[in-house]
Amino acid sequence: MSKNEVILLKEENQKQSIELREDDNRVIKNIMKSMSMFKVNSYDAQVIQSDLIGMAQELKLRNSSFQDTIGDDVKGFTNEIINNSSGPCKREILLNFLLKLAAYFFGWFAGLSFFAYGALSWESNPLYIFILLAWY
């Protein structure tokens, strides 16, 4: 099974972030938390995280920290990154909403089935099919 680029970038970012110092990793996580999918699409977010990890690794070689380099205005730094990105993807937002909606309905119907019939399956009667067809 082939993986898409977002998943590959995410896995690579997780591997690279393990090697970072704890304070640099914390700053990068705080920056990434403020970049929701309503501000930056998933692919751009992973590319940005990869760039931030690369910056932190380079600063580690120079015996400097990420926080010292960007200063105290982390929010301003984050807003500048968001403004330079391509913005949110409306299809991604819609698909994420539909995925959550489908999961909600599945959970609702599974719970209703379990509480109504005492299990996740129930006996079917061919008469039910005719009733449903007549209903529609």
| Domains contained in the chain, number | 2
Instruction: Tell me which of 31 and 119 has the higher pLDDT.
Output: 31
Report DSSP state, residue 120: S
Q: 107 phi and psi, to 5 degrees? A: -65, -40
pLDDT for res 122:
63
Evaluate whether 44 touches 13 at the Cβ level (below 8 Å). no
Average pLDDT over residues 30-45: 84
One domain for residues 96 and 77:
no
Is there a contact between 102 and 94 (Cβ–Cβ < 8 Å)? no
CATH number, domain of 24, equals 1.10.1900
- Which residue range forms the structural domain that includes residue 40? 5-84
Under 8 Å between Cβ of 40 and 3? no
